[in-house]
Chains A and B, each alone.
Chain A
Amino acid sequence: MMMCKEATRLMSLRQDRPLTFQERVSLRLHLSMCGACRECDRQFTLLHEAGRRFGPEHDAEQDDDGH
């Protein structure tokens, strides 16, 4: 049975590469039972998006509104 710490490893990994079938299944199973990990998963995704916006993409969006 996978524990939260290991689940966060897979959540992090999937921001960087596609998970294998096995990994996807065990992560999904864990997330279905663990609310804290579901939040963590959302936070990792938010961090990913925040990183993207920190750089140029954020700017491009601002420009669309601003000009």
Chain B
Amino acid sequence: MNEKEDRLQRLTAVRPRLVSFALMHLRDRSQAEDAVQEAMMSAIEKNESFAGRSGYETWVFGILKYKILDAMRVQKRHRRWQPLEDEDDDDAIDRQFQQNGRWQESARPSSWGEPEAAFETENFWQVFDACMIALPDNAARVFSLRELMGLSTDDICRELDIKENNCWVILHRARLRLRACIEKGWLKEETA
């Protein structure tokens, strides 16, 4: 198999992961698929500019990141996101704590075991996926930019035009929501 065909095959193989990665950020399937389409096209066009072999998928992800950021900018301009300042999900968080700031008995975190073992379970990723989708849009966007794309909160603030403090508040809530959702969906099933 020549190199071009090999890369085409690898592109096809990684496509579903590219789509779910884009979906987490863009929260819209057709926009996510468009971004992936564009990234794949530009990977094919710029094929020559890729040097190594083992990092090919990483390289494609790198292209996708820029497409996602472009698409997010367009979204933000046209779609009028909910203001990032007032996520109204205080309730969901407050339900995890008592008035005095201690954990609610029903929400007390329990052990998820070894991270490596979790990551090797197909079910963990299904639950992770479902819980990401269940997040409010803004929380999911900020969390994805931070943890999936690996941007600093400083960069995210510039990208989304919010204050860094807001960013931290949103991330705190997103993590609390995610942990509660994953614990419910995953752990309960593992032990069932």
Question: Residues on A close to B: CB < 8 A?
Answer: 3-6, 8-9, 12-13, 15-17, 36-37, 39-40, 42-57, 59-60, 63-64, 67
Q: Report whether B61 and A56 are in contact in the complex, using a CB–CB cutoff of 8 Å.
A: yes
Contact flags B127-159 to A (C-beta < 8 A → 1, else 0): 010000000000000011011111011000000
A53 to B146, CA, bound (A): 13
Grouping DSSP codes into helix (H, G, I), strand (E, B) and loop, the B interface class, with mixed when no group exceeds half, is helix
Q: Which of B28-36, B72-80, B106-114 contacts A (4 or more CB under 8 A)?
A: B106-114
Nearest residue, chain B, Cβ from A54:
B148
A64 partner residues in chain B, CB cutoff 8 A = 54
B66 within 8 A of A: no
Q: Report whether A51 and B101 are in contact in the complex, using a CB–CB cutoff of 8 Å.
A: no
B interface residue count range (under 10 / 10 to 19 / 20 to 34 / 35 or more): 35 or more
Question: Residues on B close to A: CB < 8 A?
Answer: 14, 17, 20-21, 24, 53-58, 60-62, 97, 100-103, 108-112, 115, 118-119, 124, 128, 143-144, 146-150, 152-153, 167-168, 171-172, 175-176, 178-179, 182-183
A57 partner residues in chain B, CB cutoff 8 A = 58
Nearest residue, chain B, Cβ from A53:
B119
B167 partner residues in chain A, CB cutoff 8 A = 16
Set A4, A39, A55, A63: member contacting B21, Cβ < 8 A: A55
B124 partner residues in chain A, CB cutoff 8 A = 50
Given A16-B168, A39-B110, A55-B21, A6–B54 Cβ distance below 8 Å?
no
Given A6-B101, A17-B153, A63-B57, A42–B119 Cβ distance below 8 Å?
no
Given A17-B153, A53-B119, A55-B149, A36–B171 Cβ distance below 8 Å?
no
The residue among A3, A12, A56, A57 with the most chain B CB atoms within 10 A of its own CB is A56
A51 to chain B, nearest CB (A): 3
A15 to chain B, nearest CB (A): 8
Given A39-B110, A47-B175, A16–B146 Cβ distance below 8 Å?
yes
Enumerate 13 A-B pairs (CB-CB under 8 Å) in ascending A order: A5-B102, A8-B176, A12-B175, A13-B168, A15-B175, A16-B146, A42-B111, A43-B179, A47-B147, A50-B115, A51-B143, A51-B147, A63-B56
